[in-house]
Amino acid sequence: MHPILTPLLLSLKIAICATLISLACGVVTGYLLARCRFPGRALLDTLLTLPLVMPPTVLGYYLLVLFGRHSAFGGWLDAHGIHLVFTWQGAVVAAAVVAFPLIAKPARAAFEQVDPQLEAAARCLGLGHTAVFWRVTLPLAWRGILAGTLLAFARALGEFGATLMLAGSIPGKTQTLSIAIYEAVQAGRDSDANGMVLLISAVCITVLLSVGTLAAGNIPRRGLR
């Protein structure tokens, strides 16, 4: 198998799984922060945003401590046969944590832009809260959520520091494309590094263009006639 193909397929698998986890958690969190008022809301929002500004290696260290066998939580997981350290599942967790704010923040902004009067009108027509969410709120907020999802996928695909700390670099098991690039450069395999860099750059450019298109389509056009 081509040396680029194995880390590419692994990176795609990890990025897709991490994006799905981040999407589910980010939509729920964004909705709660947009619609609910509770003590500590600002602090919670700050804590959930930390992965955007915290150095990935520091975040990876926290995850390693949390899921390591010497911690209470890590020991509980190990006793139940769940192993995340130095596994591809651990790489998924690391990528999901890093990508989560990129979905939660746009989702919150998208939900805040939905007119509450539309939701109230739907409830007056007999729809329950769950039906209002699926039939009114989410369809009106989908552009912002999709833009965040694309950004989260690109971030998960290129994740390096947290993944290396938690999952390590095991060829064929946890060595993602970003880690493979680093090790190819260290080993002097410039041709392999160039190919992988061009590949991941093309993916990131495509994602950014898609996000720009979605953002342009979501600009209000009131008054433009």
CA angle at 186 for the pair 197 and 161, rounded to the nearest 5°? 65
Neighbours of 2 (CB within 10 A): 8
Mean pLDDT, all residues of the chain: 89
Q: Where are the beta strands (DSSP E) in the chain?
A: none
| Tokens coding 108 | 């919150």
pLDDT score recorded for residue 219: 52
pLDDT score recorded for residue 218: 59
Q: Mind listing the pLDDT tens digit for each residue in 81-111?
A: 898 999 999 999 999 999 999 999 999 999 9
Burial of 67 (0-12, 13-18, 19+ CB in 10 A): buried
In angstroms, the CA 154 to CA 45 distance is 22
What band does 217 get if pLDDT is binned at 50, 70 and 90? Answer: low
Q: What is the DSSP string of 31-43?
A: HHHHH---TTHHH
What band does 1 get if pLDDT is binned at 50, 70 and 90? Answer: low
Does the pTM surpass 0.85? The reply is yes
Q: Mind listing the pLDDT tens digit for each residue in 37-76?
A: 889 888 999 999 999 999 999 999 999 999 998 899 989 9
